[in-house]
Amino acid sequence: MRKNRPNWNVLEGDVKNFDFTNFKNKVDVVTGGFPCQAFSYAGKRLGLEDARGTLFYEFARVIKEVNPPICIGENVKGLLNHDNGKTIRGMLSVLDEIGYNVVPIQILKAINYKVPQKRERLVLVGIRKDIDIKYEYPMPYKKIYTLKDALKKGELFDSDVLISIGAKYPESKKSVLDLVPPKGYWRDLPIEIQKSFMGASFYLGGGKTGMARRIGWDEPCLTLTCSPAQKQTERCHPDETRPFTVREYARIQTFPDDWQFSGPMAQQYKQIGNAVPVNLGREVGYSVIKFLNEYYRIKNKS
């Protein structure tokens, strides 16, 4: 953040050690991403104190201290079913307790928002209870972009992808992936190689379409992971037998080419793989601005 936004006041550390009360009623939106940790349930209805010890508690505490008109939480879609749905219900009741109504939750598909990648994200939007304005999720675009749009000059980027550092497959994996055609996966391998590559997984059945997967130019990429060469989530380049490089990863997540990543290569992959795709984030941002413009229009009238 400091490298790319030198004028920002970047505070770094454990969120538990920060007090946000000096921002009360001065900030328009609080956003956060948090892991889905199970809550220990005290009684039927979960309150803020019951969520202590989780990062969601810190997210809710910040909202309570700042009191913004709108708050946005971002998570994996698995949150909906986590702990049989108890976790999400607990989160909703905590937000209710601190004065926020949650808009019906939606899973946003990145491919609908100019992102050449099949990634889904749950967006949780809370509106302060004294505000009677409808929040509307961003409208999907009609066009779906592909790996070619990500890595070649075209509508999304005005040049081919920059050359950069990248992970390599071990020779044993490379020799297997060499045999996989574009858009193919482990089932396209000779049966004996399938058995040795998949090990016990071969006999378990099921799809496992992400294993030994080579992406095609004319399709969106599968969801990028934090580690590009790990087994079971291969995302092989269409023409060359290698994982995507750091800058290719960044393009697939729609980062601009001038955004710099820090630290060792593994950390750079992790930063990119964990991110919300930039173009998806931008669309959510526009939807928040639209909501806030309406909020201030009404507020300034009264």
Measure the CA–CA gap between 99 and 287, rounded to whole angstroms: 21
| Cα-Cα end-to-end distance for the chain | 39
CB atoms within 10 A of CB 185: 19
Query: Which is the catalytic residue, given 36, 71, 221, 236?
Result: 36
Is 292 buried (19+), middle (13-18) or exposed (0-12) by CB count in 10 A? middle
Q: Minimal CA–CA distance to 222: which of 207, 237, 210?
A: 210
Decide: helix, strand or coil at residue 127.
Answer: strand
Find where tokens 């004996």 sit.
192
- Answer for the pair 237, 137: CB distance below 8 angstroms, yes or no: no
Q: Is 226 a catalytic residue?
A: no
How is 157-191 classified by DSSP, letter by letter?
Answer: -SSPPPP-------HHHHHHHTTPPTT--GGGS-H
Is 13 buried (19+), middle (13-18) or exposed (0-12) by CB count in 10 A? exposed
Q: Minimal CA–CA distance to 88: which of 129, 56, 113, 49?
A: 56
Token reading at 137? 């999720």
**CA dihedral over 219, 223, 229, 233, signed as positive or negative:** negative
Q: Minimal CA–CA distance to 4: which of 280, 271, 301, 283?
A: 271
- Answer for the pair 172, 212: CB distance below 8 angstroms, yes or no: no
The catalytic site residues sit at: 36
